[in-house]
Amino acid sequence: MKVAVFSAKEYDKSFLCQEASGTDVQFTFFDTTLNKKTVSLAEGYDAVNCFVNDTLDAEVLRQLKTYNVSHASLRCAGFNNVELHAAKKLGITVTRVPAYSPESVAEHTFALLLSLNRKIHKAYNRVKENNFTLQGLMGFNLHGKTVGVIGTGKIGKAVIRICQGFGCNVLCYDPYPCSTLQQQNVEYVELDTLFTHSDIISLHCPLTTETQHLINQESIAKMKDSAVLINTSRGGLVDTKAIIAALKTKKIGGLALDVYEMESELFFQDLSCEIIQDDVFQRLLTFPNVVITGHQGFFTQEALKEIAQTTLNNLINYPQGKLQPDNIVQL
Ligand code: NAD
């Protein structure tokens, strides 16, 4: 089976090749993203394998179909970059990796929260310059603070476990509350209550038409003054211009992002010698109380191994009609 792997980095090659050894899966790696300009690279392959910033819109999917590619395999959990109606109409099966080390993203969420709150990003540079003053580095205890968790799936649950370890109070919102969490006395509330009562808000829901710009001018207005927002889920959940306005008025006291709504133009590339054209992103970088990482929540050895294993299983099982239902992206 010949598979064209898009957005392929060295670490993808290494983990995927290790898993494919001894199977009939042959990978060809392209470092470019999949989009309408690059889709012709997929000609002659049985399947494509894609990541978060590859574009699988109707035009790309139609083109894939003309090359007889009937399987689009994703090596990630989210699938907001795929036009599912078009895929269904064309008979292209979309598979994903529904679960891989939720702890990898949950732990990164806390890495961001702790860095932001205890100003590790500033302290690190200060100490390197032999400046050992503490002015401007004061944080607050997480113990006793209320964390609002939006989305209590696999990652949200792992975040809740960590919150409990820190002695935080947890409020949750999810349209499909988890009965196990409810039995453990984790409190589900309406979204507005979560906004008004949380000191820290952490996003763990998927990006859908319903959740697009869930964090906007209106929802920010409901939040506590100086609330801290963490987004390790998908960039489109946050209206970036609204959050910048709230950072300027200090309504938002801190922001940590692993994802950004226009990240496909920036992330996973070395642009250190380039002029960044995205003025909104550049403005975000100017705030002392903003910490940004470039979509690395998933980036642990454990997660990459599990991603490669599930991806291989999906590729091998698809022609045999043995795909696990959870791994197929349904409309
Ligand atoms: P999951 O499917 O296990 O959980 C998602 C939860 O969100 C579900 O419980 C669902 O009911 C809930 N939800 C759906 N609509 C909602 C809404 N309108 N409001 C609130 N909750 C809603 O997914 P997961 O594995 O926990 O992943 C969560 C998200 O994390 C993914 O969608 C993905 O975007 C993101 N993610 C980011 C990284 C990273 O590297 N930063 C890695 C993996 C996943």
| 108 among known catalytic residues | no
pLDDT by position in tens, the chain (length 331): 999 999 999 999 999 999 999 999 999 999 999 999 999 999 999 999 999 999 999 999 999 999 999 999 999 988 999 999 999 999 999 999 998 999 999 999 999 999 999 999 999 999 999 999 999 999 999 999 999 999 999 999 999 999 999 999 999 999 999 999 999 889 999 999 999 999 999 999 999 999 999 999 999 999 999 999 999 999 999 999 999 999 999 999 999 999 999 999 999 999 999 999 999 999 999 999 999 999 999 999 999 999 999 999 999 999 999 999 999 998 8
Q: Which of 196, 237, 201, 190 is nearest to 216 (CA)?
A: 237
Tell me the one-letter amino acid at 304.
L
- Ligand 1 centroid to 88 CA: how many Å? 22
SS3 296: coil
Residue nearest to atom 32 of ligand 1 (CA): 206
Closest by CA position to 159, among listed 232, 220, 228: 232
Task: Report the residue among 205, 214, 257, 258 best suited for mutation to probe ligand 1: largest number of ligand atoms under 8 A from its CB.
Answer: 205
Rounded Cα–Cα distance for residues 253 and 145 (Å): 14
Name which residue sits closest to atom 15 of ligand 1, judged by CA: 205
Select which of 75, 96, 108, 234 is catalytic: 234
Output 129-138 pairs: Cβ under 8 A, ≥24 positions apart.
136/288
Query: Is the shortest distance between the CB of 112 and ligand 1 below 6 Å?
Result: no
Beta bridge partners of residue 56, listed in sequence order = 82
**What integer pLDDT is reported at residue 331 of this predicted model?**
82
Ligand 1 lined by 15 (C-beta under 6 Å): no
Q: Is 302 helix (H, G, I), strand (E, B) or coil?
A: helix
Most ligand 1 atoms within 8 A of CB, residue of 9, 105, 108, 188 to mutate: 105
What domains are there in the chain, each with its CATH number? 2-100+300-327 (3.40.50.720), 102-292 (3.40.50.720)
Residue 295 bears catalytic tag: yes
